[in-house]
Amino acid sequence: MPFQCGCRSLSFAFVFGFLLIFGPALCSGQFSGSAVSASSALSIPQAQIIQPGDLSRILHSRGSAKPLVLQVGSRVMFEQAHIPGAQYAGPGSQPAGLESLAAKVVSLPKDAFVVLYCGCCPWNRCPNVGPAFNQLRQSGFVNVKVLYIASNFGDDWVNKGYSVEKGN
């Protein structure tokens, strides 16, 4: 009997804890099984995502091939701070931004190493990286990575101490 009681308590604790942790996400549909929009950052395959620390190491390492880093968010935010060497392409959620992105890569070989980033909003709310990534993949680029920015560029890049540049 005591054993049964313990099992029940453990089960209760597990279910209670699970609901506490994942309840809000389940309610908001994040894990509800509903189809992820093709334009959502959540649709980007895990293998195509690069972490801030990994990108920083690549940018600072000698000898390794450097990617073309393109910011696909706001120009105002780019001017305040951006990844050294990055170029501004424009918001991927808008036609003008996608046109600008196409122009940035038009002369590149399809196997060029390209890294896209935005950082305007939390990853699951970013409207820009998904469309930009999809456009490059559909254009035949096979070595495109997207920088994973969990919250925003300020918190996940600048405040983490990774190097930045200002201006155009």
Partner 1 sequence: MKKAISLTLVLCACALVFCSPARLPARGSLVHKRAPAFVRRDLSGNRIRLSAYRGKVVLLNFWATWCAPCRLELPRFAAWQRKYKQQGLQVIAISMDDDAEPVRALVRSFALDFPVVMGDAAIGERYGGVLGLPITFLVARDGTIAARLEGESQSVDMEEKLEQLLAQP
* 119 lies in the binding site for partner 1 (CB under 8 A): yes
Q: How far apart are CA 33 and CA 134, in angstroms?
A: 22
Give the full edge-to-edge strand order of the sheet including 87-88: 49-50, 144-147, 114-117, 68-71, 87-88
Site stretch for partner 1 (CB under 8 A), options 20-28, 42-50, 52-60, 134-142: 20-28
Site stretch for partner 1 (CB under 8 A), options 47-55, 56-64, 107-115, 153-161: 153-161
Among 24, 29, 84, 109, binds partner 1 (CB under 8 A): 24
Among 44, 120, 129, 147, binds partner 1 (CB under 8 A): 120
Longest Cα separation, the chain: 74
Q: How far apart are CA 117 and CA 130, in angstroms?
A: 10
Among 36, 43, 58, 75, binds partner 1 (CB under 8 A): 75
* 130 lies in the binding site for partner 1 (CB under 8 A): no
CB of 13 to partner 1, least distance (A): 4
Site for partner 1 in 82-101 (CB under 8 A): 90-91, 93-94, 96
> Is 165 in a helix, a strand, or coil?
strand
Site for partner 1 in 31-70 (CB under 8 A): none
* 10 lies in the binding site for partner 1 (CB under 8 A): yes
Please answer whether residues 160 and 144 qualify as being in contact, where contact means their C-beta atoms are separated by less than 8 angstroms: no
Among 54, 99, 111, 155, binds partner 1 (CB under 8 A): 155
Q: For residue 103, what are the β-bridge partners? A: none
Q: How far apart are CA 115 and CA 55, in angstroms?
A: 9
